[in-house]
Amino acid sequence: MGKTISEKILGAHSGGDATAGEIVVAELDYMMAQDGTAPIAIRSFEGMEGEKVARPDRVSFCIDHSAPSPLRAVSQLHALMREFAGKQGIELCDVGEGVCHQLMLEKGHALPGSLVIGADSHTCTYGAVNTFATGVGSTDLAAGMLSGSLWFRVPETMKVTVTGKLPKGVFAKDVALMMVGQITADGATYRTLEIGGETIEGLGLDGRLTVSNLAVEMGAKAGLMEADDKVIDFFKHRTGVKIEAVSADRDARYVEEFEFNVAGLVPQVALPHRVDNVRAVEEVEGAPIAEGLIGTCTNGRLEDLRLAAAVLERGKVAAGVRLIVAPSSREVMLNALREGIIEVFIESGASVMNPGCASCVGTHQGVPGDGENVISTANRNFKGRMGNPEASIYLASPATVAASCLEGKIADPRRYL
């Protein structure tokens, strides 16, 4: 019987053969925690009576969720991270460097064929570059820091094939939201999604990362894709390590297979308060909005910013609307600056934040008011997510968010493209 990508990567890291359903102890290639999870990981590490991190060269802490710190108490937690990282000799990505997931890619820490854990559920994003990457809690991360390994149940795999040419105004985020709507919030629980097909192959790396980012919104453990030249090129100058991408065998076993044709897809939006409550934008057009967010680990990359700018060039942010833009990393922000995109944002009336998570998690940089609607490129719209349980969050593509901000109400981006 052939192997899935998950079986091959987990097998290669646990010294043998791995088959779905087995439990293996696997050596970790890289580990990451952010400012919402690293402090507990540090406490757990100390509780384990850990003294030295097993492989300091394989651990990174990122300060991105509440960065710069909006509160004295948060500043203390950031200080705890800096102190631990300094003492242990592990990498610390400080305020303003960017969203943890983008940094793990740009720094060449999450590589094709490698095994990565992150104390953040959207660690599954790196599946788009063929990394078996999965979110864990802080104490699992602490166990990884202490021993260099972690136990995994080898997941069953669901195969998702996406075909068809994307129509005008329809992007990777629309494909991802459609998938979440169809597969539902727990349709892939404990499983890996292997995502491929001509549409995925046609996407740039940024778009693929958006699709894998939403894997966890279907409950998936990982959202894996095969690595092609676009992936290999991305890492060319980012790592000295030889890239060894992993493909599934032709006779690999899949527990379920989905095929989606996107040739007739229209712009999608997830309605409050569920990510799988997905509709066509047309159905909710006209709903008033008070805030827009473009950025996050889902849609803060250069392709996303280009797309938003192409729409925003056509007008000004409507009166009474706040548009917040946060590039996903310093590299992305500098590239956007050089291309004149940041200028477009500022001239349209947007507030451009430092690279980081911005208002996605409700800790700073744009908490909505009572009764307000927000339209965001992020990946979660749970009640209270952005810091106010009396606000409602809609999720959409950067183009839809930009168009909605121009009109002050949910708008179809196709008239601006």
Q: Point out which residues bind other proteins (CB under 8 A).
A: 19, 21-25, 35-37, 39-40, 43-44, 47-50, 65-66, 71, 73-74, 77, 118-121, 123, 135-140, 142-143, 146-147, 149-151, 153, 185-186, 189-190, 216, 219, 221, 274, 361-363, 367, 380, 382-385, 387-389
Task: Go through the chain and tell me how many residues it has.
Answer: 417
What's the token pair of residue 191?
């499983």
Helices 205-213, 302-312: crossing angle, 10 deg rounding? 100
- Closest CB to other proteins among residues 14, 348: 14
* Helix, strand, coil % in the chain, rounded to nearest 5: 35, 20, 40
Pairing of strands 291-295, 322-326: parallel
What's the token pair of residue 245?
């991408």
Q: Residue 368 gets which letter from DSSP?
A: P
- Closest CB to other proteins among residues 76, 239: 76
Supply the minimum distance, in Å, between the C-beta of residue 85 and other proteins.
Answer: 17
What's the token pair of residue 143?
């166990």
- Closest CB to other proteins among residues 48, 417: 48
Distance CA 351, CA 344 (A): 11
Q: Tokens 């065998």 — which residue?
A: 249
Supply the minimum distance, in Å, between the C-beta of residue 365 and other proteins.
Answer: 13
Supply the minimum distance, in Å, between the C-beta of residue 41 and other proteins.
Answer: 8
Contacts of 383 (CB under 8 A, 6+ apart): 272, 273, 389
Supply the minimum distance, in Å, between the C-beta of residue 21 and other proteins.
Answer: 4
Supply the minimum distance, in Å, between the C-beta of residue 31 and other proteins.
Answer: 13
Cis peptide before 68 (omega within 30 of 0): yes
Supply the minimum distance, in Å, between the C-beta of residue 366 and other proteins.
Answer: 13
- Closest CB to other proteins among residues 134, 404: 134
- Closest CB to other proteins among residues 70, 202: 70
- Closest CB to other proteins among residues 124, 203: 124
